[in-house]
Structure 1
Amino acid sequence: MIHPTALIHPAAEIDPTADIGPYVIVDGPAKIGPNCRIEAHAQIVGRVEMGAKTVIGRAAIIGGDPQDLGFKPETETGVILGVGNVIREHVTIHRASKAGGFTRLGDGNFLMAGAHLAHDVVLGDKNILANACLLAGHITVGSNTFIGGGAVFHQFIRIGDYCVIQGNGSFGKDIPHFCAAHRINRLMGLNVIGLRRQGFSSEQRAAIKEMFKCLFLSGENLSQAVATARQQEWPVAAQRLLDFVAMPSKRGICAVRQGGAGEE
């Protein structure tokens, strides 16, 4: 199942059920699991671990050096892909920047053509990144989140579970669980349709909605709103939203903003 034009490093470990296409380069001690498919002209560079049934599209590059001026190429880092990921054409996923580190994807993610994950990015499970999404270094994404095409993200931010993010948006702050985000660092509300499709009950959705109102629509600043919310008990899903907002990254949390179409 290895095409005769493929170039395979002698240290690579490739399961006999994997399919390696024309002109593929596996350059380094990669581990390619059962029933993986690597399509023509893709490159697997360095220490890449690939779970079963993962697909790497044409001309994708997995495991390249970080785009970090201070990075030393001899640093031992890598990329770990879980099971059943689909990585489409021209996607780039860079290895981690610190010794012993890994850029990581969970299971069942779908990255469309031209998406980019910089060094030290961590994705959970079943996320969809549409074409040309750009994630800078040290970003963490939860699970079951959809990111529209062309959206861009500053380094060191967090994106929660069950989010939906508008294409061509620009984000330099955290996006909490269950939220819909658009434009520049703006929340437009909750991912109501997504929560319903993912099986959240009406009671769960109502509790999340009440928490969202308490945190972002009460008129209090965020730290005051968190303190107010902590004064009562909440169902598990709503508590997850509260805990996310209560522990922001150094970049802070996206906010709901009122205003006309001409605002920023």
Structure 2
Amino acid sequence: MTIDPSAQIHPSAHVEPGARIGAGCRVGPFCLIGPEVVLGRAVEVKSHAVITGRTEIGEGTVIFPFATIGEIPQDLKFQGEDTSLVIGARNRIREHVTINVGTGGGGGVTRIGDDCLLMAGAHVAHDCQLGNKVILVNNAALAGHCVLEDEVIVGGLSGVHQFVRIGRGAMIGAVTMVTADVIPHGLVQGPRGTLDGLNLVGLKRRGAGRGDITALRDLVAALGQGTFRDTARARSAENPDCALVREVLDFILGPSDRSFLTPR
């Protein structure tokens, strides 16, 4: 066990032998830190949180009470194989969030990027891959193997089916079930989610110009008139100059075993 002298560990917390606690960390009352856990610089773990498994947590991340991080997957195929969880820097992991380590059949690593916000009760299952600045609103749940690119927002009480990819900047409305891939900057709403246009607010916040937004709208309209991949291949051959259009086309033509959510 390695605990930096500057770390503050509450006397009621239990840090198991083998754990590594970085400089400036704070571990609150009644926490459990497992033997393979690595806490980076200035990580704060508030009271009653559990961090276990082969879990690495990056600098400045804050974990709130009753979160359970790094437990084994909720997957009956899991046989105790040596897998891990890697969480980046400056994340906010709120109360009762659960995040599982990976599985041997799914790549072995669950990964969360930097500057994410996981609100109360959110769940990230085994082998999920989250980019930077992802937001999961209260009680949002990701099934195994999901991929969420940077700046995705998943609304409260929403669920994402296993193996689904959600492209950069997409927004999922509240109380929505997502069963297929979502293009970058897409907007998904409804109990059984459908593609409902573009996340215009997010695009404008990121500085997208009117011409880029118009080009994206034209692409979404074209996608709604045919199969996604065939339309994307045709548009890709035209070599569009718009970087946002190129991003969506590359996403559609990327590897996936699932279909895409289509416009209403």
Q: Which range, TM-score by smaller chain?
A: over 0.9
Q: 1:34: which partner in 2?
A: 41
Length, aligned pairs only? 254
For 1:212 and 1:66, locate their aligned partners in 2 and report how far apart those are by CA, in whole Å. Answer: 36
> 3-state SS of the aligned residue for 1:206?
helix
Q: 1:212: which partner in 2?
A: 220
Is contact 1:160-1:177 (8 Å) kept? Answer: yes
Is contact 1:11-1:28 (8 Å) kept? Answer: yes
Q: 1:252: which partner in 2?
A: 259
Q: 1:191: which partner in 2?
A: 199
For 2:256 and 2:199, locate their aligned partners in 1 and report how far apart those are by CA, in whole Å. Answer: 22
Query: Structure 2 stretches of 5 or more lacking a match?
Result: 1-7
> 3-state SS of the aligned residue for 1:200?
coil
| CA apart distance, 1:201 | 2.3
Q: 1:12: which partner in 2?
A: 19
> 3-state SS of the aligned residue for 1:255?
coil
> 3-state SS of the aligned residue for 1:187?
strand
Asked if 1:171 corresponds to 2:178, the answer is yes
Once the two structures are superposed, the pairs formed by residues 18-57 of structure 1 within 5 Å of their partners are 18-57=25-64
Once the two structures are superposed, the pairs formed by residues 90-129 of structure 1 within 5 Å of their partners are 90-98=96-104, 101-129=108-136
Q: 1:262: which partner in 2?
A: none
Q: 2:148: which partner in 1?
A: 141
Question: CA offsets per residue over residues 224-260 of structure 1, 9 Å max, x none?
Answer: 4223313412122111101212336222100112xxx
Is contact 1:89-1:112 (8 Å) kept? Answer: yes
Amino acid aligned to 1:83: A
What RMSD over aligned residues (CA atoms) do the two structures have, in Å? 1.4
| TM-score, structure 1 normalization | 0.92
For 1:59 and 1:180, locate their aligned partners in 2 and report how far apart those are by CA, in whole Å. Answer: 32
| TM-score, structure 2 normalization | 0.92
Q: Which runs of 4+ in 1 moved over 3 A?
A: none
